Amino acid sequence: MRTSLDVLRRFVDLPADPAAARVLLDEVGLEVKRIDPDRPGVPVTLELLANRGDHHGHVGLAREVAGRTGGDVREPRCLDLVVGEGTHPVQVQTPLCPVYALTELRRTAEVGLDAEARALLEACGLKPVHPVVDATNVANLELGQPTHAFDADTLVGPVTVRLSRAGERAWPLFAPEPVDVPEGTVVIADDEKILALAGVIGCEESKTTAATTRILLEAAAFDPVAVRKASRALDVHTDSSARFERGADFTLPLRGAGRVAALLSAGWAVHGTTSLHASWADPARLVPFEPAACRAFLAVDEDDASLWARLGRYGFVREGAGVRVPAHRLWDVEHPADLYEEIAKSIGYDATPTTLPAIDMGAVPSHAEQVWDTAAEVLVGAGFYEVVTDGFHGRQLVEQLGFGEGHPLHAHVETANALDRAYSLLKNETLGQALEGVALNVRMKHDEIKAFERTRTFHPDPGAPNGVCTERTVLWAIAAGHERPRTWAGAAREIDAHLLAGLVDELALALRVPFAVSTAPGTHPLQSALHPGRQALVRQGDRVVGIVGEVHPAVVARFRLKRVRPVYLEIDGDALLAEPVRAVFAEPPRVPPVERDLAFTLPRGVEAAALCAALEAGAPDWLRRVAVTDLYAHVQDGAPVRTLTVTLTWANDEGDRTAEALNAATEQAAQAALAALGPRGVTLRA
Amino acid sequence: MSRPDVSALLEAFRADLAAAGDPEALEQVRRTHTGKASPLKAALKGLRDVPAEERPQVAAALNAAQATVEAELEAARLRAEEAALEARVAEEWQDLSMPGLAAPRGMRHPVSQVEAICLQTMRRLGFQLVEGPEVESAFYNFDALNIPEHHPARDMQDTFWVDGGLLLRSHTTTVQARVLEKHPPLPIKVVSAGRVYRNEAVDATHLAMFHQFEGIWVDRGLTFADLKGTLAFVARALFGADRRVRFKPKFYPYTEPSVGVDVSCGVCGGSGCDACHGAGWVTILGAGMVHPKVFTTFGYDPAEVSGIAFGFGTTRLAAQWTGITKVRSLYEPDLRTLTRLHRGA
């Protein structure tokens, strides 16, 4: 809300120093978002609390200040209108309009508003339009009571407050043409047309113009929900709707009309009596207030009299063991805690006592927190940057991944009202956004990419507790470029899926949970998006818990990625949270182990893991470890083959293994491997 | 037998020693002048032929000569080793002004870093982290938190509605609601952190998704003073012990009274500058005493228990702490942004 300190001072005393005035306003909940101490009048912009309709007028602001300072609130002069038959017939046909008053004024002279009223308009950012319109605006800004004037000579038949009918149209002020009015909207109408959308805006056909000589001044109170619905349905938001949506003061309409009449009194005269249609009855709400409970709640040491007096400053009237809530606060004061807030504001939040928290045992991170921190540390240690992606993605991204109808990831939970198409689907996978990230970086010539995220995906599931979807937590990582950034010491190895497979091992070690990168048959929803010859599943026992591999060249092309071959890893979050396997420490032997190397030639299709398994299976039980320590890819007899050097580490804990025994055991393992894999073309190199 | 010429022996030794330019030559001198076939050893063997009355004197001279030879040889060896080391060190010069070659680490996301600091702070007060779903019902997101349908407060949180009448949580306060529903033993001290959603037109400074951090403490006898003390502790733990803290009235539907917490501007120290719009204060979090309606919704008697609730935007904190002005960039996987934050431009 825009105003100025000078204007606000008409209603309540404020400190002379703008800085002190600002502090005061901030402290009473009228937060100053902007102030210009050097400009005339000291313009200010206030941020109003969303639940305080009464703050939408200067009198309401003044009451808030006075509640703190104890000062007086100066209300503007209003004419006392005489309630009677009125000059124009009125029918109120809906309970959504609890109060409706209509007063006729006739023009007596061509006189505008006085300088004080014009200054208020200007301070509040409004430009003069027409004396009548200006007067209604001023009255609203002063009292927080919207009013509206119809040109009486445009009306046909009685003024009726009713619900709109199916197919009705209205022409709101400032709209280029008439619009459809949703059925059931509260409207003000005559026999031919809608005159106003109740509490929101007037209409063109009955508006006041320079030629108007007779007005019917409406001052009413409308149901907040009805006004809110109309405002949203028509997408029309006005000062009036903002006020009514927060709850009107049902006692205010006559004063609002009287204020307009007073403002216009130099050029317009009240004609006849004011017709008043009021179905509203003051609920006389009493809220219990126990000073002792208040003192305990706020930890303050004020006596009863002082507490009651503070409530009185805000208009609360003591009645028995509680207070009667004034009409302008019926919408936000219901509980004793609401009154405690008033007391706290009156004292000043900063002036109430403060108790520092007691020393506590503290809390330790949960297992899940520790797991995520550890996993992140593994990835960060490997040079990966954590990123955060949106919870949504668009249909186009699904198509880029090739997840057509029938694909397990084709179905999504959809948003119903997203303002942006990119947010139409809740994401059910993370590869797409990871690839978008790669594309973004490649476009910026940042080709060295290592990124990861812990995030959630959403999966349609009518059987879920919420009947719609389940949420899964996943850890994903994507990489492209080189294993290390280029340095002066030479080029690093290009990244391939082996890097991420190695990270699976590191994660398993760090978390002490069993993960295995496995090419054994199994299914994962992302298989079709990865290179068929360069992918593997991540298993935990028999369960598939993730996937690792190079992104399928066709998918890479659809993301318009050039120069890079991204590799991707995804692991189910629950698998990371599996119960850790306790490490059992074994004293290292006093004698170093002994090693023997073997070299095998493997035709394409035979996996290193199969060779290692065959060696392990065929060796004596004092074989400690089998590791691939060298790879030579070449062509043999016209076919691509790989020669793997495998290092067998043998236990020699007592230092008593002879060379003959080691060689014999190594030969035994080699022959076992050849027996198992020889039929598949595996040979032992001399 | 004539007496051996000890001076000549030493003279010959010293001549050879002086000519020895490297450790190998030195070793040769050692073998020549102290080995079994050396003149000195021969002279010692020949002592028996020296007349008895002269023998002690000659023996002493030869022993002295032997000691001298060995001492000078050792000194020469040390000098040679030192010289060799100096030569090697000179040879092995490396230009350590060249960039280092350690495998570079990556970095946690700024929002995660902020969350970690917040969690660390709250753990000191005994708060535990709990998580909740992001797809929520209107009950947990609004109704249970005293935000009935058509309440203007719902405008504050433009909502993403999804299939089945559910929504994407617009605040992490939903987690507090779920915790209260379970009625854990008092005191309840939990925090929640994570993604929240607002259906807004996205631009550099407006996001459809961002991160929040919230906490709730429920117990018997908690007062407004406890609220202030806890918030002051949190504010100073996060922003520095030298920052001033102030409390101001706010409106949140699920707390009463509601409180906004400001800290003195870190740029100007409170005198007012562009960063704080001249206020001298920066708002960092919203809080309040848990609203009685929230308690009654979940079967608590507000006369028996009271609670403190607070929350802040970790996205905004991350932006403030990193100096990022366009928060959208925090949510783009542009590694240039992260590497600049990590390693500088």
**pLDDT per residue as tens digits for the range A23-55:** 999 999 999 999 999 999 999 999 999 889 999
Q: Are residues B118 and B86 in the same domain?
A: no
Identity of the residue in A379, A389, A437 whose CB atom sits nearest the CB atom of B106: A379
Chain B residue with Cα closest to A242: B152
Q: Are residues A539 and A670 in the same domain?
A: no
**Three-state DSSP state, B158:** coil
Do the domain assignments include residue B36? yes
Pairing of strands B188-197, B128-129: parallel
What pLDDT does A192 receive? 95
Helices B23-34 and B55-91: crossing angle in degrees, nearest 10, is 170
A105 exposure class (CB count in 10 Å sphere: 0-12, 13-18, 19+): buried
Do the domain assignments include residue B97? no
In angstroms, what is the C-alpha Rg of chain B? Answer: 42
Q: Which of A17, A56, A338, A386 to mutate to test the interface with B (most CBs of B within 10 A)?
A: A386
Q: In CATH, what number is assigned to the domain containing residue A197?
A: 3.50.40.10
What pLDDT does A675 receive? 97
Pairing of strands A43-47, A83-84: unpaired
**Three-state DSSP state, A456:** strand
A32/B256 Cβ within 8 A? no
Do the domain assignments include residue B98? no
Q: What are phi and psi of A78, to 5 degrees?
A: -125, 145
Q: In CATH, what number is assigned to the domain containing residue A619?
A: 3.30.70.380
Sheet-wide strand order for A214-221: A83-84, A268-278, A99-107, A214-221, A147-151
Q: Are residues A444 and A524 in the same domain?
A: yes
Q: What are phi and psi of B12, to 5 degrees?
A: -65, -40
Last residue of one domain, picked from the residues A234, A261, A278: A278
Separation of alpha carbons B185 and A423, rounded Å: 40
Do the domain assignments include residue B277? yes
* Confidence check: pLDDT of B156 > 60: no
Q: Are residues B121 and B263 in the same domain?
A: yes
**pLDDT per residue as tens digits for the range B329-339:** 899 889 999 99
Do the domain assignments include residue A377? yes
Chain B residue with Cα closest to A472: B133
What pLDDT does B258 receive? 96
**Chain B contacts of A456, Cβ < 8 Å?**
134, 195
Last residue of one domain, picked from the residues B28, B58, B91: B91
A365/B119 Cβ within 8 A? yes
What pLDDT does B152 receive? 64
**pLDDT per residue as tens digits for the range B258-270:** 999 998 888 888 8
* Confidence check: pLDDT of A582 > 90: no
Q: Are residues A456 and A374 in the same domain?
A: yes
Separation of alpha carbons A308 and A315, rounded Å: 11
Q: How far is A359 from chain B (nearest CA, A)?
A: 7
A299/B163 Cβ within 8 A? no
* Confidence check: pLDDT of B202 > 80: no
**Chain B contacts of A184, Cβ < 8 Å?**
none
Q: Are residues A509 and A617 in the same domain?
A: no
B291/A423 Cβ within 8 A? no
Q: Which of A162-171, B104-113, B234-243 has the lowest mean pLDDT?
A: B234-243
User: Is the ipTM here above 0.95?
Assistant: no
Total structural domains within chain B: 2
Q: Which residues pair with A268 in a beta bridge?
A: A107
A420/B201 Cβ within 8 A? yes
Q: In CATH, what number is assigned to the domain containing residue B187?
A: 3.30.930.10
Domain with B160, as residue range(s), is 110-343
Pairing of strands A179-180, A169-170: antiparallel
pLDDT band at residue A463 under the 50/70/90 scheme: very high
Q: Which of A131-140, A357-366, A380-389, B190-199 has the lowest mean pLDDT?
A: A357-366
What pLDDT does B275 receive? 75
The answer, for B226 touching chain A at a CB cutoff of 8 Å, is yes
Do the domain assignments include residue A232? yes
Q: How far is CA B72 from the centre of its chain?
A: 56
Of B284, B257, B165, the C-alpha closest to A469 is: B165
Alpha helices in A271-426 (DSSP H): 291-298, 304-313, 336-347, 367-381, 395-400
Give the percent of chain B with pLDDT over 70.
97
* Confidence check: pLDDT of A652 > 90: no
Residue A659, C-beta contacts closer than 8 angstroms, at least 6 positions apart: none
The answer, for B228 touching chain A at a CB cutoff of 8 Å, is yes
pLDDT band at residue B63 under the 50/70/90 scheme: very high
**pLDDT per residue as tens digits for the range A440-458:** 999 999 989 999 999 999 9
pLDDT band at residue B278 under the 50/70/90 scheme: confident
Chain A residue with Cα closest to B228: A354
A386/B112 Cβ within 8 A? yes
Compute CA distances B318 → B244, B250, B273, B322, whole Å. 20, 23, 21, 6
Q: Which of B97, B223, B289 to mutate to test the interface with A (most CBs of A within 10 A)?
A: B223
**pLDDT per residue as tens digits for the range A360-392:** 778 899 999 999 999 999 999 999 999 999 999
Q: How far is B179 from chain A (nearest CA, A)?
A: 16
**pLDDT per residue as tens digits for the range A198-229:** 999 999 999 999 999 999 999 999 999 999 99
Q: Are residues B28 and B119 in the same domain?
A: no
The whole-number average pLDDT for the span B276-283 is 83
Separation of alpha carbons A537 and A571, rounded Å: 10
Kindly tell me the sign of the dihedral angle through the C-alpha atoms of B264, B268, B270, B276: negative
Separation of alpha carbons A324 and A341, rounded Å: 16
What pLDDT does B240 receive? 87
How would DSSP label each residue in A571-624? Answer: EEHHHHTSPPPPP---PPPSS--EEEEEEEEEETT--HHHHHHHHHHHS-TTEE
Q: Are residues B56 and B197 in the same domain?
A: no
Q: Are residues A250 and A315 in the same domain?
A: no
Do the domain assignments include residue A417? yes
Q: Are residues A62 and A115 in the same domain?
A: no
Q: In CATH, what number is assigned to the domain containing residue A451?
A: 3.30.930.10
Identity of the residue in A28, A296, A456 whose CB atom sits nearest the CB atom of B134: A456
The whole-number average pLDDT for the span A100-114 is 94
Last residue of one domain, picked from the residues A69, A98, A114: A69
Q: Which of A42, A388, A423, A484 to mutate to test the interface with B (most CBs of B within 10 A)?
A: A388
A352/B228 Cβ within 8 A? yes
Do the domain assignments include residue B297? yes
How would DSSP label each residue in A203-252? Answer: BGGG---TT--EEEEEEEE--HHHHHHHHHHHT---HHHHHHHT---TT-
B139: its two tokens = 């009950």
Total structural domains within chain A: 5
What pLDDT does B271 receive? 84
- Record the pTM: 0.86
Q: How far is A638 from chain B (nearest CA, A)?
A: 40
Write A652-659 long-range contacts (CB < 8 A, 24+).
Answer: A652/A589, A652/A591, A652/A592, A652/A593, A652/A594, A653/A589, A653/A590, A653/A591, A654/A589, A654/A591, A655/A590, A655/A591, A657/A594, A657/A622
Chain A residue with Cα closest to B203: A420
Identity of the residue in B108, B208, B246 whose CB atom sits nearest the CB atom of A376: B108
* Confidence check: pLDDT of A655 > 80: yes
What pLDDT does B206 receive? 76
Q: Which of B115, B169, B228, B336 to mutate to test the interface with A (most CBs of A within 10 A)?
A: B228
Q: What are phi and psi of A223, to 5 degrees?
A: -65, 130
Q: Are residues A553 and A625 in the same domain?
A: no
Q: Are residues B273 and B168 in the same domain?
A: yes
Chain A residue with Cα closest to B193: A369
Compute CA distances B100 → A485, A488, B96, B97, B105, whole Å. 12, 10, 8, 8, 13
Separation of alpha carbons A659 and A504, rounded Å: 37
Q: Are residues B141 and B20 in the same domain?
A: no
Last residue of one domain, picked from the residues A227, A250, A278: A278
**Chain B contacts of A246, Cβ < 8 Å?**
152
The whole-number average pLDDT for the span A547-567 is 95
Q: In CATH, what number is assigned to the domain containing residue A14?
A: 3.30.56.10
Q: Are residues B118 and B173 in the same domain?
A: yes
What pLDDT does A421 receive? 77
**Chain B contacts of A419, Cβ < 8 Å?**
199-201, 208
Chain A residue with Cα closest to B305: A297
What pLDDT does B155 receive? 61
Q: Are residues B143 and B272 in the same domain?
A: yes
Q: Are residues B205 and B266 in the same domain?
A: yes
Q: Are residues B82 and B190 in the same domain?
A: no
Compute CA distances B149 → A187, A286, A480, B145, B185, whole Å. 22, 25, 49, 11, 31
Separation of alpha carbons B43 and A370, rounded Å: 81
Separation of alpha carbons B121 and B117, rounded Å: 6
Do the domain assignments include residue A78? no
Of B145, B189, B182, B191, the C-alpha closest to B167 is: B145
* Confidence check: pLDDT of A536 > 70: yes
Q: Are residues A293 and A272 in the same domain?
A: no
**Three-state DSSP state, B21:** coil
**pLDDT per residue as tens digits for the range A309-367:** 999 999 999 999 999 999 999 999 999 999 999 999 999 999 999 998 877 778 899 99
pLDDT band at residue B292 under the 50/70/90 scheme: very high
Last residue of one domain, picked from the residues B60, B91, B122: B91
Cα maximum dimension of chain B: 131
Q: Rounded to 5, what percent of chain A is helix, strand, coil? A: 35, 25, 40
Please name the amino acid found at residue B135.
Answer: V
Identity of the residue in B104, B201, B331 whose CB atom sits nearest the CB atom of A383: B104
Q: Between residues 136 and 175 of chain B, which touch chain A (CB distance below 8 Å)?
A: 137, 150, 152-153, 155-156, 159-164, 166, 168
Q: How far is A597 from chain B (nearest CA, A)?
A: 29
What pLDDT does B2 receive? 65
What pLDDT does A278 receive? 87
The whole-number average pLDDT for the span B107-128 is 93
The whole-number average pLDDT for the span A15-29 is 95
* Confidence check: pLDDT of A104 > 80: yes
Of A469, A466, A496, A467, the C-alpha closest to A481 is: A496
Identity of the residue in B124, B291, B334 whose CB atom sits nearest the CB atom of A444: B334
A/B interface, count of CB pairs below 8 Å: 269
The answer, for B251 touching chain A at a CB cutoff of 8 Å, is yes
Do the domain assignments include residue A582? no
Do the domain assignments include residue B104? no
* Confidence check: pLDDT of A531 > 70: yes
Q: Are residues A549 and A410 in the same domain?
A: yes
Identity of the residue in B108, B124, B166 whose CB atom sits nearest the CB atom of A362: B124
Q: Between residues 257 and 296 of chain B, which touch chain A (CB distance below 8 Å)?
A: 257-260, 277-279, 281, 289, 291-293
Do the domain assignments include residue A60? yes
Separation of alpha carbons A277 and A86, rounded Å: 11
Do the domain assignments include residue A362? no
Residue A468, C-beta contacts closer than 8 angstroms, at least 6 positions apart: A413, A460, A461, A462, B135, B162, B163, B164, B166
Q: Are residues A232 and A302 in the same domain?
A: no
* Confidence check: pLDDT of A484 > 60: yes
Q: Are residues A524 and A643 in the same domain?
A: no
Kindly tell me the sign of the dihedral angle through the C-alpha atoms of B175, B176, B177, B180: positive
Separation of alpha carbons A426 and B133, rounded Å: 13
The answer, for B342 touching chain A at a CB cutoff of 8 Å, is yes
Q: Are residues B147 and B216 in the same domain?
A: yes
In chain A, the N- to C-terminal Cα span, in Å, equals: 89
**pLDDT per residue as tens digits for the range B208-259:** 899 999 999 999 999 999 999 999 998 888 888 888 999 999 999 999 999 9
Q: Are residues A463 and A538 in the same domain?
A: yes
Identity of the residue in A31, A382, A469 whose CB atom sits nearest the CB atom of B135: A469
Q: Which of A385, A390, A468, A469 to mutate to test the interface with B (most CBs of B within 10 A)?
A: A385
Domain with A445, as residue range(s), is 367-576
Do the domain assignments include residue B74? yes
Please name the amino acid found at residue A524.
Answer: H
Do the domain assignments include residue A361? no
Q: Confirm if A11 and A61 have CB atoms less than 8 A apart.
A: yes
